[in-house]
Structure 1
Amino acid sequence: MTVHLFGAASSPGCANYGLKQVSKDYEDQYGSDATKFVHENFYVDDGLTSVFTVEKAVQLIKKSKQMCSEGGIRLHKFISNSRDFRITLKDQPLVRRSVLSTINYIYDPLGFIAPVVLTGKQILQAVCKDQLDWVSPLTDNLKISVGEMEV
């Protein structure tokens, strides 16, 4: 079996087991920093750690991605608080799907930017209330709300 059912009660445990096993299997090849990150700093599918320099972060990301790739796991979507790491949002059509995608793109495990994301969630709530499907353009009043959010 190479995949696991998303949303099953056992999914978090299987994800953790897979990450820990990959880190054990490839520790000699990729070093203790990547192994420690993957083995000890992940909760289900989110890894959280801190390093002192951007160079160390980039090196850790590369090693961790390579190590997990060897085990058939694809790590992606890295975020940093460094000014050198930029969050770039793709231009997307203003439809329900893109609003949801943009809201969920932001990784904020401690909820520090929840007040900012709340406006986007209110727009998504209005879209759902209007019963728009996933690809229909937003109504003009919702487009104005989205335009007011942009800084």
Structure 2
Amino acid sequence: MGSSPYFAIRVNYQLVEDEKVNFPLAASVFASETYVDDLFVGGVDKVSTIALRDDLLQLASASGLRLRKWFSNSVDLLTGLDQSDHGLAIELPYDNSSGFKVLGILWSPSDDAFHFHINEVHDEISTKRSILSAVSKLYDPMGWLAPVTIVAKILLQKLWLQKLDWDHTLPSDLAQEWYDFCTKLPALSRISIPRWTFCGRDTNSIEIHGFSDASRLAYSAVVYSRIISESGEIAVKLLIAKTKVAPIKTVSIPHLELWAATLLTRLIPFVVSSL
């Protein structure tokens, strides 16, 4: 049914309106941390997070709804829930939980980290159409794979410069370049991105550090968080990155570096507002 996502979202809005006085914490989650019919929420400690979980359950049950398919990195947050509602999700190793995604990105509760599942590309004859299709499947909204995806973007630009038809066989040099790229792609499955940035109640300060750079082929920007705890421990985590290929028309390196800096000045406010 094409309108089912609309109904799911509309029900959430009505839930918030009807129960926000009785369950203010849960109502806030339903209002701002819901994607269609999925809830994504966390907390700084187990006690407050369990209280929020119970609040969510009560809010949903007030309208005859039942929250199911619970996943958590803590077994305590699953304790007390019906077995059929979570199925010991925390104990599932990454290889067996490949179907669980958070907004399109694989998340493994057992190690509390994000992973990438990259399928091998099998193309006996590489064309511009098949390469564009394969590259579009490299879903990486946060730019964690930016050093890899930018290589694919540059290759696509080369194909456009060649003015090849969509189904025309690639020249031998570009075909070899694509083959080399594809043979290394499965290695991305070994990459693990920790979900937690080490920001908690004992955090003394949070710093946002951004870097930008450019070459004749591309330019990029990346943002890291630097968390300093009260005990003096420091944790640096990659948050987000953006890349763009250089324009076809030749542009000087200093000019491209200014574009990279502009990209960074737009990325940092987005990160700050999100945090």
State the TM-score, normalizing by the size of structure 2.
Answer: 0.31
User: Deviations for 1:33-62, whole angstroms, at most 9, x for unmatched residues?
Assistant: 111001111111111122101122211111
State the structure with bigger RCO (CA 8 A, min sep 6), 1 or 2.
1
Please give the secondary structure, in 1, of the residue aligned with 2:71. Answer: coil
- 1:80 paired residue among 65, 72, 75: 72
> Aligned match of 2:21 in 28, 50, 54?
28
* Runs of 4+ that moved beyond 4 A: 83-87
Task: Look up the SS of the partner of 2:22 in the other structure.
Answer: helix
- Partners of 1:68 and 1:22 in 2: CA distance: 8
1:117-137 Cα offsets, whole Å, 9 max, x none, are x7xxxxxxxxxxxxxxxxxxx
Number of positions where the alignment pairs a residue of Structure 1 with one of Structure 2: 97
Output the TM-score relative to the length of structure 1.
0.54
- 1:115 corresponds, among 104, 114, 117, to 117
Matched with 1:68 is 60
Higher helix fraction (1 or 2) = 1
Amino acid at match of 1:9: G
Asked if 1:16 corresponds to 2:9, the answer is: yes
Contact 2:50 2:77 in 1 (8 A): no
1:102 shift after superposition: 6.4
Shift of residue 14, structure 1, vs aligned partner: 0.5
Q: What is the aligned-residue identity percentage?
A: 24
Give yes or no for contact 2:8–2:37 (8 Å, CA) kept in 1.
Answer: yes
Larger radius of gyration: 2
* Whole-Å separation in 1 of the counterparts to 2:60 and 2:36: 14
**Structure with greater strand share of residues:** 2
Distance 1:59 1:74 in 2: 17
**Matching of residue 38 in structure 1 with residue 30 in structure 2:** yes
Compute the displacement of 1:103 (Å).
5.3
CA–CA distance in 2 between the matches of 1:57 and 1:44? 22
- Report the alpha carbon displacement of residue 114 of structure 1 after superposing the two structures with TM: 4.0
Letter in 1 for 2:71: I
Change (3 A) 1:25 1:85: closer
- 2:76 and 2:59 mapped to 1: Cα distance? 24
**How far has the Cα of 1:17 moved from its partner?**
0.7
**Which runs of 5 or more structure 1 residues have no equivalent in the other structure?**
1-7, 90-100, 119-151
Structure 2 gaps, min length 5: 79-86, 90-95, 107-113, 120-275
Q: Give 1:4's aligned residue.
A: none
- Sort the Cα spacing of 1:40 and 1:108 in 2 relative to 1 into closer, same or farther, 3 A: closer
3-state SS of 1:58 partner: helix
